[in-house]
């Protein structure tokens, strides 16, 4: 199950109001693999800390969790913003985890490079147009989905990922699972 953390917290807050909270928490804790993307985009509120602890606690040593963040793990304590709760959450996340830190230009930035014109002026070089023009005529316009546009618009300067695996499972099994489901 893939979910962006900012959206997850919005959904959990709404679910609390309309009575769906227990079902949503159950769905998140039962998923064999939970991918929490974009952790650390903001400091957590009291309610968000509670929600994160609830999810992490229920999944701890039972199910696999993959967390991605653009901030290093060393700063997560500050983002959780309550020392006691941060210790409890991070202890469960980091224990039995495989940590991967990626450095350098983001994949999105590398993919976007051929589309960008020189000098960083923000113009886009569409196929079938002269460089610096407003854009292609509709027949020449490439089929760019909303997701592609979002990927091009959100360059990653850094990436941190933690995989937390149940004790009885092997890392290789989950790499295969991730590669199969995420088309890596």
Torsion angle defined by CA atoms of residues 155, 34, 52 and 69, in that order, rounded to the nearest 10 degrees: -20
Do residues 85 and 68 both lie within one domain?
Answer: yes
Assess whether pLDDT exceeds 90 at residue 15: yes
Q: Are residues 21 and 55 in the same domain?
A: yes
**What value does the mean pLDDT take over residues 60-72?**
88
Mean pLDDT of the residues in the chain? 71
Domain count across the chain: 2
Nearest Cα to Cα of residue 44 among 58, 55, 33 = 55
Q: What is the pTM of this model?
A: 0.59
pLDDT category of residue 118 using cuts at 50, 70 and 90: low
Q: What is the pLDDT of residues 16-40, one digit of tens each?
A: 999 999 999 999 999 999 999 988 8
My answer on whether 92 and 111 are in the same domain is no
- Which tens digits make up the pLDDT trace of 123-136? 544 444 444 444 43
Structural domain including 120 reads: 106-156
Each residue of 52-61: b (16+ CB within 10 Å) or e? bbebbeebbe
The helix (run of H) or strand (run of E) holding residue 108 is helix 107-112
Model confidence band, residue 72 (pLDDT cutoffs 50, 70, 90): confident
Tell me: do 162 and 130 sit in the same domain: no
Q: Does residue 163 sit in the same domain as residue 126?
A: no
């Amino acid at each position: 199950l893939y979910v962006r953390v900012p959206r997850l917290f919005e959904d959990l807050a709404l679910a609390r109001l309309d009575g769906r909270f227990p079902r949503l928490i159950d769905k998140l804790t039962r998923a064999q693999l939970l991918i929490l993307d974009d952790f650390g985009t903001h400091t957590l509120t009291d309610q968000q800390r509670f929600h994160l602890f609830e999810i992490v606690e229920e999944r701890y040593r039972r199910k696999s969790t993959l967390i991605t963040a653009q901030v290093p793990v060393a700063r997560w304590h500050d983002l959780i913003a309550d020392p006691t709760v941060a210790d409890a959450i991070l202890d469960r996340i980091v224990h039995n985890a495989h940590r991967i830190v990626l450095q350098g230009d983001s994949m999105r930035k590398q993919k976007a490079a051929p589309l960008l014109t020189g000098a960083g002026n923000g113009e886009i070089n569409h196929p079938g147009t002269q460089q610096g023009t407003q854009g292609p005529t509709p027949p020449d316009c490439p089929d760019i989905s909303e997701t592609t546009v979002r990927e091009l618009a959100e360059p990653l300067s850094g990436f941190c990922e933690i995989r937390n695996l149940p004790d009885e499972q092997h890392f290789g099994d989950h790499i295969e699972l991730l590669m199969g489901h995420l088309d890596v």
